[in-house]
Structure 1
């Protein structure tokens, strides 16, 4: 398994999954879920036994990256943000997909824990009879020459040293309080002191993946596609006319909605004439919104205006995110289908979509009612807690 050619069955399995999915019919939230839940687990059997060559890891990550952006191995779409930034955790500015390299190493690391924590089980006794009482961990170079599979597992600290990551030092011998006079192994990266794949995977990802200054705190009341939209806006990586002109896709930079100024994120969501009218309409309905928003930063930080009421602040921010999504959808409608909608229709979409999503994702509280939501939404939110 040290040869990349022997990993072709796994690569073909990834490609077979993608052939059944139509990325063009899925939102970014749907693609993100599939990248994490399905494409992130297809290789679990292989990763738990063998260390994948770097070439294989790059190929699999490329498959995931192209699918996330709406393409496949044959058709490539524009990659607006580096995959490493997307893979990093949400609290460090990414989308929390995680790297396959870290997953592979973390799953192999579990064999160290199994060997140390259960030294008398049959397979551990066999390993000891071949490589010594410590399983060859103290002589990894000798162990690797004897066996490719266990030799790679014994060499995990050496592989991680290349990225300045410690591994063996996190296994600690401590006194066993349940059996006085005896000792046991602890894993110090986990509060429970028991080894977990996720603890080592997160530890490795923090070391090899970048930390972004631009961060977005996920709002649980609205779909993932809206959170991803806000995340892309923070990074300035929406396919606006100005951004498309920078990479040579188009020569025109005028706003697709009003046609009066260059289309940047800031203009599209805060300065466009149509957008301003829509925001004023929404500010009159949800009177906690600031009607004098001037920059995209003011929009994205609107949640900070409300303190002491978590649910109300999430709803407040959620309405802003629905507003961004409705504006972006209308922009794409005008750009690709020449469609036209009135301000009242756009405002109705913000009201109806937000109510539907809030009720679907906030089942612990009483459902918001449509008539009251349209008349006095702030009072309705307070009364239905």
Structure 2
């Protein structure tokens, strides 16, 4: 198929004003062909499939295939379908055995299963199902909500969107919704009923409602070719446009990528006018201070999950929340108040563990002054599987 497309024998579905065309999608035992609607294109596709049969011996049963048309009449679809031997398809349709757009009340089905109820049977529920879903410490059975699980799976799509820039589906989404895909300012996404619109809406709602911090996923700058300097979260916990508002207004191109400001000699910016005034001068000094440790390389940018351990139930946090404890001292060493920094770094037990890791890795582990220092050191470890496994395992334990 790739040869047929490159030679112009078959013309795929071309995205308007874009060099991206989609001609085929292959699955394990299924395939979808997409192309311009004209008889010659369909004839050539049948010829290509015939050649595939003669070479491989695998015959394609066209009677089990369907022909769909977008923006054409039903009669035109039927005429072309009869020529090819395919059946006439219509929207919505069934794909891989799943009716597209069908809604299933999975949570209700699961609740009936736990209650031991047959279809149509009714029983008295002494505890609300939502309470049952709660964790043990909240009085539930720790079953977990399918809705919450689904939101977590949906959030993975955001991670994949930014980590797979060369994937076909990402290129298509960027064509329709802009480079940000709808996750940040400057995107062309609007409210609606599309699948991607609903995914983006659900993820954005998690941030807007405070259920998930906006910096739950951060961009790691390598070559800066996919990270927008002012709009994306990459250098701070918030976008540059929020922290350095005056400089953002002053920027000649507010949609610049990080790589646009980088040169072999260092950072070079383009402003609407010269920096003047105390506020602009102060923000510019802050900007240059932030960028001191950033030097772009050749590797591709990537997204990583931010590990938020500020909510760990250490004793100092429990006391802040009104929990009555005998002591706030660490139960491991009883030398100091148990907070996150002490638990992972300052405690004598933690020091012994890190010394042991030092022996395992046969390398020098620096002195950590904060959790950020430790996480940066872990991220900067050489890409060696055994070493990475040791460090990750120790940290998780």
- Which is higher, the Rg of structure 1 or of structure 2? 2
TM-score with structure 2 length normalisation? 0.32
TM-score with structure 1 length normalisation? 0.33
**Structure ranking higher in strand proportion:** 2
Select the structure with the greater relative contact order (CA < 8 A; seq sep ≥ 6).
1
